[in-house]
Amino acid sequence: MNSLTHVPTVQIFKTYSPAKDTSFTSSSLVSRAFIFASKAHEGQLRKTGEPYFTHPLAVAQVLHEKFHDEVLTTAALLHDTVEDCSVNIEDIYKDFGDEVGFLVDALSKNLLTFYKEKTSTDFADKIERLLYAGMKDVRVFLLKIADREHNLLTLKYLKDKKQVRVAFETQAIFSPLSRLLMYKRAKSIPACTRRMNAYLERHKLFNATQLKTFLLNETFTNLPSSFFDLVYRNANAVIWRVESEKMYHKLCTLPLLKGKIEFINVKSNGKWLTADFRFNKGAVYNDKHLRIRFSSFKLK
């Protein structure tokens, strides 16, 4: 997944104000969300040392410039308030409406159900919960992709284990989801919705588990959907495998992977080659042809 071209977050933080944005009125959802979120994140810092509010602000600006959707921009400003601040999801629904509430609800990983759901839905993991929501409203996916792309810019500031976990999740779910929606070229929410619905229908993906399996198969050749959460939680202990000299060569020569992978075992008899390795740091590669297999767990 490529990095976004965007204004540096500190500059956005210092210069952007809803009052200066003629797209919204002073009483709009965006203006109220700007004030609400800036207060909620007051005093919080990112791993880079920047004020935390620079992150939701940067995500909101990217989505506003791409889609000009008030609900989506508002949810982007608020998307971390429930997960990282002392804000209740009930207050988001009450103060900003059901659409914004649902988007923030979907991105809040510490919630197990949905506030407005009449019946409880059991999810195998947090990713299935997110996919379930995105299949109902594509703006969940657009918000999460923009959120993840911005967070990848500061991946190196995380501890190594967290880097590997975030990179695995991105490679497994969000990179293929971004390609499915053609996110980088997307400019219209209705167009994204049509594309998603057509894709789901064409591949007969009727629920979150089926969609998760499909996305995993875009990168990994033998990783069952039921293994996802286990691999996610133990990402730095997973041994991966490639089974061709061409793939092994890519692992050795891709600049992005330099110093980030450790080979455990390489075997070849001149006709075939297998190479087992693990990630010691996070890396999200763009080569969709570099498909790797789950091999085993090996605790350090």
Q: Which of 190, 187, 154 minimizes the C-alpha distance to 62?
A: 187
Residue 122, token pair as written in the block: 């059991």
Active-site hit among 21, 50, 69, 84:
84
Alpha carbons 235 and 220: distance in angstroms, whole number: 14
- Choice among 21, 83, 218, 229 that is catalytic: 83
User: CB-hemisphere CA count at 13 Å for 241?
Assistant: 14
CA-nearest of 133, 135, 127, 132 to 197 is: 135
Annotated active-site residue 83? The verdict is yes
Is 84 part of the annotated catalytic residue set?
A: yes
Over the Cα atoms of the chain, what is R_g?
Answer: 20
- List, by residue number, the catalytic residues: 83-84
